[in-house]
Every structure is written in C-alpha cells, then in structure tokens.
C-alpha cells in the first residue's frame, strides 16, 4: 500500500520522507501550501487539527507529528530496509536519547534561524535580528556537544545510522544551504565528517530533490 504524505516541500515532512526511503516504503506526496493557508482548509484540519505538516495516511490510519511518524515506521518495518532503531534495548535507548536532544536542544535554535532568515518576509513579519544572534550562539553550543560526542562514535547513537541522525537532515540542509551558515558545521571536524556522511546517503539525495 502506498503511503500518502502531505506537505512534501517542508523540512519536517522531508524527515518523514527520508525515513520512508530508508525503509523502502513506497509513498506519494500531496502538496500543502502553508504560505497560502491551505493548512487551514477544513479538509486538512480534519486530518491535522493543529494545521501543521506532515500528515500521513496509510490505508485508513492517519498520523501526524514527524518524529512520531518516523518512530512508527521504524518500528513497524524494523526488519525492512535500514534498521534505524538499533539492535539492542541499550542501542534503542541511545537512539531515543539523541532524538530528544535533537527535538529539545537542536531544533528550537535551528527552527528560529530558519523562520527568521528564510521565511519571515514571505510570512509578513520582520526578521528578529536579536533572536537570530541568540539562536546562532545557542546552536553553536549544542554543536560543540555534538563535536565531543562524534569524536567518540561515528553517529550520534553509536556506530550505526539511526533515526537520531536522520532527524537532523532537513533543517541542517537549510543551515548549510540557503542560510549560508555552513561554517557552523565545517568549523567542527567530527560534525563536518558526520554531516558529509549522512547527507550523502541515497535516501536523502532522493528526498532533497522533492
């Protein structure tokens, strides 16, 4: 059965798409234009009452929130494609730990940068330069911790690629690409090597073109 994925052009949705690609799950994408407010249409709000993307429909099963979705498919199809959860309960715990680090420490800062540098004008408000500076400083401190971690293991949860790494791909691509802040990655030897590794995966190359 083909999984329907709403909102493919946005970073959080690409988190889901790269997971599906790693697992070899067929999907189709349905565009949702947030700038035009299509996420506030009654039909969409029936699927996602908070009006955000992504949303998936897998047969008669609907799920939203990108990290919930990737956990769902990594568990449901654990033996298919890339194992993104680890082989032991200890490895799974480490994956979950770094997924939470991404969600609670990395994402808030990089989201602020993305919103205020790339999308503020389109959304009709002025970029907050003070918030941009503060978010960059906080993100740098997070990346320093990543640098130490990645000096001891190839990937965040250990020596295997997992959801913890995958979850960083879409917003970090904004950082090194259109935000022109690649120096934040390249100035840290082990973070830089990690980024080169995960961003060169065929799954991400496929999804990043969508």
Query: Could you report the per-residue pLDDT of 89-118, keeping only the tens digit for each?
Result: 999 999 999 999 999 999 999 999 999 999
Confidence of residue 22 (pLDDT cuts 50, 70, 90): very high
164 neighbors 157 (Cβ within 8 angstroms): yes
Quick one: CA dihedral 177, 189, 20, 202, positive or negative? positive
| 3 three-class SS | strand
Give the confidence band of 209 by pLDDT, cuts at 50, 70, 90. Answer: confident
What integer pLDDT is reported at residue 206 of this predicted model? 95
Domain 3-76 is of which CATH architecture?
A: 3-Layer(aba) Sandwich (3.40)
Q: How far apart are CA 48 and CA 19, in angstroms?
A: 20
Q: Would the pLDDT of 75 be above 90?
A: yes
Q: What is the CATH number of domain 89-205?
A: 1.20.1050.10
Helix-then-strand count for the chain, H and E:
12, 4
Q: What is the pLDDT of residues 126-180, one digit of tens each?
A: 999 999 999 999 999 999 999 999 999 999 999 999 999 999 999 999 999 999 9
CB 39 within 8 A of CB 48: yes
Specify the pLDDT at position 2: 97
What CA–CA distance (Å, rounded) separates 61 from 142?
A: 36
> Residue with structure tokens 């995958």?
166
72-76-79 Cα angle (round to 5): 130
> How is the chain split into domains, by residue range?
3-76, 89-205
């Amino acid at each position: 059965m083909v999984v329907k994925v709403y909102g493919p052009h946005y970073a959080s949705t690409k988190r889901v798409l790269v997971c599906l690609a790693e697992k070899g799950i067929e999907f189709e994408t349905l565009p949702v234009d947030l700038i035009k407010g299509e996420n506030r249409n009654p039909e969409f709000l029936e699927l996602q009452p908070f009006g955000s993307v992504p949303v998936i429909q897998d047969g008669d099963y609907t799920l939203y929130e990108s990290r919930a979705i990737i956990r769902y498919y990594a568990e449901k199809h654990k033996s298919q494609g890339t194992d993104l959860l680890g082989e032991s309960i200890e490895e799974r715990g480490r994956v979950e730990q770094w997924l939470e680090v991404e969600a609670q420490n990395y994402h808030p800062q990089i989201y602020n940068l993305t919103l205020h540098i790339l999308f503020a004008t389109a959304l009709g408000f002025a970029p907050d330069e003070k918030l941009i500076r503060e978010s960059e400083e906080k993100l740098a401190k997070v990346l320093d911790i990543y640098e130490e971690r990645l000096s001891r293991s190839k990937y965040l949860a250990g020596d295997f690629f997992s959801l913890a790494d995958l979850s960083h791909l879409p917003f970090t691509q904004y950082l090194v690409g259109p935000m022109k802040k690649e120096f934040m990655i390249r100035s840290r030897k082990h973070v830089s090597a990690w980024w080169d590794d995960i961003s060169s995966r065929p799954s991400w190359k496929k999804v990043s073109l969508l």
